[in-house]
Amino acid sequence: GLFLEPDHGFPVRMIIPGYIGGRMVKWLSTITVTADESDNEYHFKDNRVLPIGITAESAEKEGWWYKPDYIINELNINSAINYPFNDK
């Protein structure tokens, strides 16, 4: 195979059983802070824990994605800010 490049996780890429992909490294160039909640689809459909028995189809039809009771808001911060080794 080929060597792992910085754009793909060099020097280390780890998959840890039991941890969601949202904890994987993200390379950001900007962060925008707003007073309003994001209307991004991922904000609504990835940051929710819906009741048992609610399918994606029924959540869409009945508006479950937008009910504030099911948003995941209270999580411990788990982050680090750093620069890539290749100075990009």
Rounded to two decimals, what is the model's pTM?
Answer: 0.45
Q: In the predicted model, is pLDDT for residue 51 greater than 70? A: yes
Grouping H, G, I as helix, E, B as strand and the rest as coil, residue 7 is: helix
| pLDDT tens column, 62-88 | 999 888 888 876 666 666 666 666 655
